[in-house]
Chain A
Amino acid sequence: MTNLIEVSGVSKRFGGVVANSQISLKVPEGSITGLIGPNGSGKTTLFNSVVGYHPIDEGSITFEGREISNLRVQQIARLGMLRTFQQTRIYGKMNCMDNMMISVPQRQMPLARMFSKFPREVIERAEAILEFVGLYQKRLLPAGSLSFGQQKLLEFAMALINEPKVLLLDEPTAGINPTLINGLIDRLRHANQDFGITLFVIEHNMRVIMNLADNIYCLAHGEMLAHGSPDEIQDDQRVVDAYLGAH
């Protein structure tokens, strides 16, 4: 299996705070790779570095073998690497359909298409994916009027219609009703297996990540603590200590 993302020796400081120190990891193509760690351990910071949200202090990040640490967010997104936000971000005043249609990939978009209408196929695809996440009925409502959990589903649907190669999900199940979590896990798996989207997932819910991921990285205090299969991580004393508050 080739590696879609390779992070080597990446560090990121905010003033005196070292949020990431010498982080290295690999996200194999087609995998579901997990990233766990206590609050403030630097998970979101690492995501931000990977997608080009802020410049890194040192190290290298490649996507499909190409160095991307010097590219901007939009350029990286158009290469096919997308992220969702921990705080969930959707276009609140636009309805769900518009949220979807504006998320179709803009990899090659000639200037002349700036004013074009959305073709029938796009509308149908948007409807189909909204149906897939269970939001079809609400498709004409402003996205901001949805519940928090529904907004998370919408954000996920928006990412799907963009057909990324890899999707970085920052706590996809946070705030989702426990009874719906299994449904979400199924959908994530489906996206991975049937749509072929590689997933890189930050998750605090251990049951979810152990269930979902085929390999897991664990951060603590901005450093890489452990890496392994779900079973190995579960049994790793360092990981247990980190979570049990050896903070």
Chain B
Amino acid sequence: MTAAGRKRASPASIIGHAAILVFGLAAPFVFPSYTFQIAMLWIMILFALTWDILGGQMGYNSLGNILFFGAGMYISAVVQISLVYDVAAYTSAFGAVKVDFTTAQYFTGIGLGIVAAALACTVFAVIFGSMVFGLRGPYFAIGTLGVALAAGELVGGWDYVGGGSGISMPVYPGEPEARSLFFYTLCFVSAISTFVFLKWAYSGRFKTTINAIRDDEEKAEAMGIHTVRYKIVAWGIAAFFLGISGAIFGNMAGFIEPLEVAFPTITFGIFMVVMSLLGGKGTLWGPVLGATLFHIIKEVSWTYLLGWQWVALGTLIIVNVVFFQQGILGWAQEKWPAFFGIVVDDKLSAKGAVASEAAE
């Protein structure tokens, strides 16, 4: 919603937000056997929301956002281990070193790891952004994809962080139920934080500026807009939250390695894009909706259509890009424009007469 058309929160919207919060808080207790899947849903929502900052709102289709997920995961791992052990010794002599983190060490480590991942990924985004933002359109997509693929390969060849054989993460000091609740909470809070932050960021100049870059970057430059600054900040925001999600996911998975877990370009990396497109890119709720639908369809097809699950997902993608290019919310916006504030005003001016009266 633009500043001009800003409305007070309606009762329906308050109920909607509250329902989501209640679901998020109650889910692990009501559906304990699905705690992990619902935690993954929150991560998927975070993925879609952060992809959409560039891909939807700013018109830069990145295929390499997974870079920040993997980088966050590894940064957190290194920080957590280095608090207690020598990282190289831990990763190389794994099994020989007796791995033992006290409860305090574990939680301090994970806290610092998440913070470090968020900050370092933001710095990466700034550096990386100044390299790839010279690329436009498909070249940007391929350039970012290349960097993400290269990152996976580089980490795979880097013995300090365990190379291709990965790192076993510190073991959670507690019962499995407490563990799953702990990681569920982290996933839930990180997704909600991402959403709330973006809702705030999308309510003013930031959103309008990155939308302008999407619609016509050259025009925005000609109007003197600080395009480079906004592009880098936009990517920094995505990297910040993706770094957090990587740090959480690595610990939740318990074991990290470069290709399948940290930099899964063709699964998570592509899912981000698909989920945003499905729900409606360039909107706040589209990615949330898309991620939810996609995750449910994916989980159901993995359970009931085993062997055909990729076919099912592929079909979904094809239907989406052929028939619903605008995604669900984009389609709704075309069908009910007035609901989204797209209206012709009867008034001819802010103070003045109504058009029909003036015509008389």
Residues in chain A within 8 A of chain B (CB atoms): 51, 53, 73-78, 82-83, 85, 89-95, 97-99, 101-103, 105-107, 109, 111, 113-118, 123-124, 126-128, 131, 136-142, 158, 162
4 closest Cβ pairs, A-B complex = A77-B224, A91-B215, A117-B204, A89-B219
Chain B residues closer than 8 Å to A53, beta-carbon distance: 222
Checking B222, B345, B352 against A82 with a beta-carbon cut-off of 8 angstroms, the contacting residue is B222
Q: Are A123 and B4 within 8 A (Cβ)?
A: yes
Chain A residues closer than 8 Å to B203, beta-carbon distance: 117
Chain A residues closer than 8 Å to B301, beta-carbon distance: none
Chain A residues closer than 8 Å to B223, beta-carbon distance: 77, 82, 102-103, 158, 162
Docked CA distance A116–B350 (Å): 24
Contacts known (A74-B221, A74-B226, A106-B224); A137 close to B347, Cβ less than 8 A:
yes
Q: Which residue of A lies closest to B4 (CB)?
A: A97
Docked CA distance A103–B225 (Å): 8
Residue B98 interfacial (CB < 8 Å):
no
Measured CB to CB, the closest approach of chain A to B193, in angstroms, equals 16
Checking B212, B282, B350 against A136 with a beta-carbon cut-off of 8 angstroms, the contacting residue is B350
Residue B343 interfacial (CB < 8 Å):
yes
Checking A92, A115, A128, A142 against B205 with a beta-carbon cut-off of 8 angstroms, the contacting residue is A115
Measured CB to CB, the closest approach of chain B to A88, in angstroms, equals 10
Checking A89, A107, A117 against B218 with a beta-carbon cut-off of 8 angstroms, the contacting residue is A89
Chain A residues closer than 8 Å to B229, beta-carbon distance: 111, 114
Contacts known (A102-B208, A102-B209, A114-B233); A92 close to B224, Cβ less than 8 A:
no
Q: Are B224 and A78 within 8 A (Cβ)?
A: yes
Q: Are A131 and B215 within 8 A (Cβ)?
A: no
Beyond known contacts A74-B227, A101-B208: 19 more, CB 8 A cutoff: A78-B224, A91-B215, A101-B4, A102-B211, A102-B220, A105-B224, A106-B225, A106-B226, A114-B209, A114-B230, A115-B200, A115-B204, A123-B3, A136-B345, A136-B349, A137-B355, A138-B345, A140-B341, A140-B345
Chain B residues closer than 8 Å to A93, beta-carbon distance: 211, 214-215, 282
Interface size on B, residues (CB 8 A): 43
Docked CA distance A136–B216 (Å): 23
Measured CB to CB, the closest approach of chain B to A164, in angstroms, equals 9
Residues in chain B within 8 A of chain A (CB atoms): 2-5, 200-201, 203-206, 208-209, 211-212, 214-216, 218-227, 229-230, 233, 282, 341-350, 352, 355
Measured CB to CB, the closest approach of chain A to B6, in angstroms, equals 9
Q: Which residue of B lies closest to A78 (CB)?
A: B224
Contacts known (A74-B227, A77-B224, A158-B223); A117 close to B205, Cβ less than 8 A:
yes
Docked CA distance A105–B203 (Å): 19
Measured CB to CB, the closest approach of chain A to B58, in angstroms, equals 12
Checking A77, A101, A137, A162 against B348 with a beta-carbon cut-off of 8 angstroms, the contacting residue is A137
A-B contact pairs, 18 of them (CB 8 A): A53-B222, A77-B221, A85-B219, A91-B212, A91-B215, A92-B216, A97-B5, A98-B2, A98-B208, A102-B220, A105-B224, A109-B226, A111-B229, A114-B233, A115-B204, A117-B203, A136-B349, A140-B343
Interface contact tally, CB-CB below 8 A: 143
Q: Are A139 and B214 within 8 A (Cβ)?
A: no
Chain B residues closer than 8 Å to A139, beta-carbon distance: 4, 345
Chain B residues closer than 8 Å to A128, beta-carbon distance: 350
Chain A residues closer than 8 Å to B230, beta-carbon distance: 114
Q: Are B222 and A127 within 8 A (Cβ)?
A: no
Give the one of B205, B206, B209, B214 with max A CB within 10 A. Answer: B205
Chain A residues closer than 8 Å to B218, beta-carbon distance: 89
Checking A82, A89, A140 against B216 with a beta-carbon cut-off of 8 angstroms, the contacting residue is A89
Chain B residues closer than 8 Å to A95, beta-carbon distance: 2, 4, 342
Chain B residues closer than 8 Å to A141, beta-carbon distance: 342-344
Docked CA distance A114–B312 (Å): 42
Q: Are B224 and A74 within 8 A (Cβ)?
A: yes
Docked CA distance A155–B218 (Å): 14
Docked CA distance A93–B201 (Å): 19
Docked CA distance A234–B152 (Å): 69
Q: Which residue of B lies closest to A145 (CB)?
A: B342
Docked CA distance A109–B345 (Å): 32
Chain A residues closer than 8 Å to B206, beta-carbon distance: 114-115
Docked CA distance A113–B208 (Å): 13
Docked CA distance A39–B202 (Å): 44
Q: Which residue of B lies closest to A137 (CB)?
A: B345
Docked CA distance A53–B251 (Å): 50
Measured CB to CB, the closest approach of chain B to A53, in angstroms, equals 8
Chain B residues closer than 8 Å to A111, beta-carbon distance: 229
Chain B residues closer than 8 Å to A83, beta-carbon distance: 222
Docked CA distance A78–B222 (Å): 9
Q: Which residue of B lies closest to A53 (CB)?
A: B222
Q: Are A140 and B224 within 8 A (Cβ)?
A: no
Measured CB to CB, the closest approach of chain A to B96, in angstroms, equals 50
Measured CB to CB, the closest approach of chain B to A202, in angstroms, equals 15
Chain B residues closer than 8 Å to A105, beta-carbon distance: 224
Chain A residues closer than 8 Å to B205, beta-carbon distance: 101-102, 113-118
Q: Which residue of A lies closest to B209 (CB)?
A: A102
Docked CA distance A12–B348 (Å): 46
